[in-house]
A and B are shown apart, each in its own frame.
Chain A
Amino acid sequence: MTARARSDILFNPLRASSTRFYLLVTGLLAVVGWGIYAYNVQLTTGLGVTGMRSVVLWGVYIINFVFFIGISHVGALMSAILRLTNAEWRRPITRIAEVVTFASLIIAALFPLIDLGRPERLLNLALYARLQSPLIWDFIAILTYFVGSALFLYLPLIPDIAACRDRLDDASGWRKRVYGLLSLRWRGSEYEWRHLESAIKVMAIIIIPLAISVHTVVSWDFAMTLRTGWNSTIFGPYFVGGAILSGVATVILIMAVLRKLYHLEAYLTERHFDNLAKLLLALDIILVYLTINEFLVPGYKFLQQSNLEGQWLHAMIWGPYAPVFWRQVIGGLIVPAVLIALPKTRNIAGYFMAALLVDIGMWLERFSVVVASLAVPQLDYPWGVYLPTWVEFSITAAGFAGFILIYLAFTKLFPIISMWENREGQVERQEEETAEKTAAARAEHSDRVSHATPSASRRGFLKTSATAFAGLALGLASSRLLSSAARTVEEAFTRELGEQRVSLSVLGESTPVESLGERTRFFVAIPSLLPPGTNLKEVRVTDGGRFVALLYRNPGLRPLSIYSEEVAVVVLQTYDPRVDGPPTYLPDRFSRVEVAGKRGFAREPAENEVNGRLEPGRLQWWSGGVRRTVLANLSVAQLRSIGASMEAGRRG
């Protein structure tokens, strides 16, 4: 088994893809399409479609942002640190880690944009930047880190792109051109290697402090405020520790999946998983230590005190956020450590489970950090409540799907294991022969199966694009179908301000009296003295009779301009025992009047100075917990006579 045939395994994903792959991509694109639709809903309606409100003002979007920035640290750790310390076992893993960094940074940068109330003003961040804001530091740091990690991904990739260019003879034209361009006409000469190695070394050195500073700066988004729970000095290390932990866990997950999917058992051996798991355990313990610091120190001082810190601690440990907190600590930190430590679960399946739990735990940890501190009232206000909505879940799912998609796209374009680095290390390794032999046999088999024909690449391209369109269309269509029902209901209450109309539903979601059940009884004073030609058009009732509106039509009177339909006289009756008289302060042009001995106020119909519309005359008076209003384009005297007739007349 030649080394070349063995390394052909790495090129198999680049040559062809199975139907299973296309199905997966379609599914992921559907999720992304659903997410796009959800974002569209958010763009048109406003950020209120999420569960955030002015108390808990940051939610799932910022949590995802911090999470994805967190897992982006693994590139620096795996690649850079292990490179600099010459750890041999890192060789197959470096590119996997670097792609995790790259893909997660792209997704991470999207989430704050999704969270913005005015995304079209994004450029203001650069134009009117104020250096004091943690957001600007975020912007600078993430931009710098992104460029750095892109370079750090690209540099070791150059020799492998050259290999792709050389060995993938059946790749389509544009792909060959891309490979040619990106490979810089790499030939592997002494000069080239020298320069590449020095560049990689420099990047490796600089990317470590860069990565640490990026997440520290993101943590300062929270730590630079004066809020309880965020006003902590160790937020930097806490976040960086959590970031590296979740990054390593993500790499374990991805490694396990890729190993299965692309038959990379030769490269990603049990030993690699063992080492990564040990790293995970070490980081886990560090994070437990940091969590203890974060909670024991304020706990010693403020547990069960009534001040803000005490309230926050109570909320985290026993209160509404306790389920999240304990799930994060026990499920995300303790259980994975146990899984890795026990010999029974010290296999790839066990590690996979542990890594999954860690990732979920880290997401929950960011949830508790962001949401709990926002919910604590800083003064004597009520607590905030946060319930994420379908929009947030959809966009989160789309974010994860996007991450996986970018990853998969990368694996289809470039080899996911760094071949030249592996070869470098292989020269020194001899004990791997037996493992390689069995892997080689399997590879030969798959080699025969997946040798592509010349036209397969074009077919592959068509398949890919067809899948892309199908997936996105599926996602968008399904989401539209399901929510169109909701939309029709919503439209019933939409206000069309452009045409200056107000739908009658503004009268407090009232229903016509005919549609009320027979059980509802209410009393309303009906005017007996109305201008001639007035006919009752409609009676609308809300709230079991607490609000009654009598709408009259009168062709002889000017219709009220504030309603969309032809209504000339409106009589409103509201039952509110809290108020029994007119306010002490009346706006301009209102005068105090009495209607049959009851106190009230009134205003003549007048033209609105600003828009020229005729505001109707208004008469409003109180009588024993009931407020009655008459609106019409009549003088106050006429309105008063109508009102008096109501007070005197029959009730029914």
Chain B
Amino acid sequence: MLIDQDRCIGCRMCMAACPYQRRFFNWFDPPVTEEERRITYSVDYNIPHRRGVVEKCIWCRHRVKEDRLPACLEACTKAGMKAIWFGDAIEDAVSDGDEVVMLSALIKGRGAYRLKEELSTEPRVLYLSPRGGTQI
């Protein structure tokens, strides 16, 4: 889900509605580097950050479009932990930077769960149980 920074009026209704409190508002002028200023804005970027609009994690769509993986995943993999998987539910494929496995297998095998399941928000963020988790 992306936020159009050109249209956002900053009413923060979405922030009030988010049950996970995962949207953030630019209360002041955020620091902006020179290269960020020159980017032609598109919805796929969170930058340049602007005062008065809402932001959220957009799963590095600008990187995914170039066939790269989100920054957090790349950092985690390069650091050796490989704790984050990213993928596509339609293709049933997720990658941790090294391997590509079937999403359905990962969910079943690692006991993936979602937060606040009872709210029917059906988030696309899953948490994997530690290895040796129970399969029911």
Residues of A within 8 A of B (CB): 45-48, 52-55, 57-58, 112, 115-119, 121-122, 124-125, 128, 133-135, 221-222, 224-227, 374, 377-379, 381, 495, 497, 500, 583-585, 608, 610-611, 613
Question: In the docked arrangement, what's the CA distance between A58 and B75, Å?
Answer: 35
Q: B16 touching A121 by the CB < 8 A rule?
A: no
Residues of B within 8 A of A227 (CB): 16-17, 19
Instruction: Show the binding face of B for A, using Cβ within 8 Å.
Output: 7-13, 15-17, 19-21, 23-29, 31-32, 34-35, 38, 51-54, 75, 78-80, 115-116, 119, 121
List of B residues within 8 angstroms of A53 by Cβ? 27
Chain B residues near A226: list those with CB within 8 A.
17, 19, 119, 121
Which residues does chain B contribute within 8 Å of A125, judged by CB atoms? 9
Known: A45-B28, A611-B38. A225 touches B17 (CB 8 A): yes
Which of B20, B35, B52, B121 is within 8 Å of A47, CB to CB?
A: B52
Query: Taking CB as reference atom, which chain A residue is nearest B39?
Result: A610
CB atoms of B13 and A133 under 8 A apart: yes
Task: Please name 21 pairs of A and B residues whose Cβ atoms are closer than 8 Å in the assembled complex, sorted by A.
Answer: A52-B27, A115-B12, A117-B9, A118-B8, A121-B8, A122-B9, A133-B13, A222-B16, A225-B16, A225-B19, A226-B17, A226-B121, A378-B19, A381-B21, A500-B34, A583-B79, A584-B80, A585-B75, A610-B35, A610-B38, A611-B38
Q: Which residue of B lies closest to A112 (CB)?
A: B11
A611–B25 CB distance below 8 A: no
Is B21 in contact with A377, judged by CB distance below 8 angstroms? Answer: yes
Residues of A within 8 A of B34 (CB): 500, 610-611, 613
The answer to whether A584 and B79 touch (CB under 8 A), given A46-B51, A46-B52, A121-B7, is yes
Q: Are A47 and B21 in contact (CB under 8 A)?
A: no
B9: chain A residues at CB < 8 Å are 116-119, 121-122, 124-125
Q: How far does the alpha carbon of A328 sit from the alpha carbon of B73 in the complex, in Å? A: 49
Instruction: Give me 13 other A-B pairs in contact (C-beta within 8 A), A54-B24, A135-B13, A584-B80 excluded.
Output: A46-B29, A54-B21, A54-B23, A57-B16, A115-B12, A117-B52, A124-B7, A125-B9, A133-B13, A134-B13, A226-B19, A378-B19, A585-B78
> Considering the chains assembled together, what is the distance between the CA atoms of A45 and B51 in angstroms?
9
Determine the distance from Cα of A52 to Cα of B24 in the docked complex, in whole angstroms.
12
Query: Which residues of the other chain, A, contact B51 by a CB distance below 8 angstroms?
Result: 46, 117
Q: A626 to nearest B CB, angstroms?
A: 23
Tell me the complex Cα distance, A613–B116, Å. Answer: 48
Q: Is B28 within 8 A of A48, CB to CB?
A: yes
Pairwise interchain contact B16-A117, C-beta atoms closer than 8 A = no
A493 CB to nearest chain B CB (Å):
12
Cβ B79 vs Cβ A585 within 8 A: yes
State how many angstroms separate the Cβ of B69 from the closest Cβ of chain A: 14
Q: Mostly helix, strand, loop or mixed at chain B's interface?
A: loop
A117 near B25 with CB under 8 A, answer yes
Choose one: A46, A374, A583; the contact of B16 (CB below 8 Å): A374
A117 touches B10 (CB 8 A): yes
Q: Which residues of A contact B8 (CB under 8 A)?
A: 117-118, 121
**Contacts A46-B51, A374-B16 given; does A379 touch B28 at CB 8 Å:** no
Q: Which residues of A contact B52 (CB under 8 A)?
A: 46-47, 116-118
Please tell me if the beta carbons of B25 and A47 are within 8 angstroms of each other in the complex.
yes
Q: How far is the CA of A222 from the CA of B52 in the complex (A)?
A: 21
Q: From B15, B32, B80, B119, name the one whose CB has the most chain A CB atoms within 10 angstroms.
A: B15
Instruction: Please determine whether B21 and A379 come into contact, CB atoms closer than 8 angstroms.
Output: yes
Q: A47-B10, A117-B8 are in contact. Are A54 and B15 (CB under 8 A)?
A: yes
Contact B11–A135 (Cβ < 8 Å): yes
Contact B32 A48 (CB under 8 A): no
A611 to B32, CA, bound (A): 14
Task: Provide the bound-state CA to CA distance between A374 and B34, in Å.
Answer: 36
3 A-B pairs closest in CB distance: A117-B10, A117-B52, A48-B27
Q: How far is the CA of A192 from the CA of B67 in the complex (A)?
A: 75
Judge whether A46 and B21 touch: CB under 8 Å: no
Inter-chain CA distance A48–B8, complex, in Å, is 17
Q: Least Cβ distance of B115 to chain A in Å?
A: 7
Q: Among A115, A222, A381, which residue has its beta carbon within 8 angstroms of that of B11?
A: A115
Least CB distance, A184 to chain B, in whole angstroms: 39
Min distance, Cβ A571 to any Cβ of chain B, angstroms: 24
Enumerate chain B residues within 8 angstroms of A611, measured Cβ to Cβ.
Answer: 34-35, 38
Complex contact A221–B13 (CB within 8 A): yes
- Collect the chain A residues with CB atoms within 8 Å of residue B12's CB: 57-58, 115, 117
- Shortest distance between the CB of A379 and any CB in chain B (Å): 6
Beyond A378-B21, A381-B21, whether A118 also contacts B35 by CB under 8 A is no
**Which residue of chain B has its CB nearest to the CB of A583?**
B79
Do B10 and A608 have beta carbons less than 8 Å apart?
no
How far does the alpha carbon of A112 sit from the alpha carbon of B12 in the complex, in Å?
11
Complex Cα spacing A219 to B34, Å: 44
CA distance A55 to B29 in the complex (A): 18
Residue of A whose beta carbon sits closest to that of B115: A379
Which residues does chain A contribute within 8 Å of B80, judged by CB atoms?
584
Q: In the complex, which residue of chain A has the Cβ closest to the Cβ of B52?
A: A117
Residues in B with CB closer than 8 Å to A133 are 13
- Chain A residue with the shortest CB-CB distance to B37: A497
Question: In the bound complex, do residue B53 and residue A118 qualify as a contact, i.e. CB atoms below 8 Å apart?
Answer: yes
**Residue of B11, B16, B29, B34 ringed by the most chain A CB atoms within 10 A:** B11
Determine how close the nearest CB of chain B comes to the CB of A586; give it in whole angstroms: 9
**Hey, which chain A residues are within 8 Å of B25, CB to CB?**
47, 54, 57, 117
Q: How far is the CA of A543 from the CA of B75 in the complex (A)?
A: 31
Q: Is A47 a contact partner of B11 (Cβ separation < 8 A)?
A: no
Chain B nearest Cβ from A347, distance in angstroms: 44
Residues of B within 8 A of A115 (CB): 11-12
Alpha-carbon separation in the docked complex, A134 to B24 (Å): 20
Q: How far is the CA of A585 from the CA of B72 in the complex (A)?
A: 11
A135 to B79, CA, bound (A): 45
A625 CA / B30 CA spacing, docked (Å): 30
* Nearest CB of chain B from residue A264's CB, rounded to whole Å: 42
Docked Cα-Cα span, A121 to B5, in Å, equals: 11
Q: Specify which of B10, B27, B34 lies most central, judged by the most chain A CB atoms within 10 Å of its CB.
A: B27
Shortest beta-carbon distance from B114 to chain A in Å: 12
Distance to closest chain B CB from A83 (angstroms): 36
A116 with B7: CB separation less than 8 A:
no
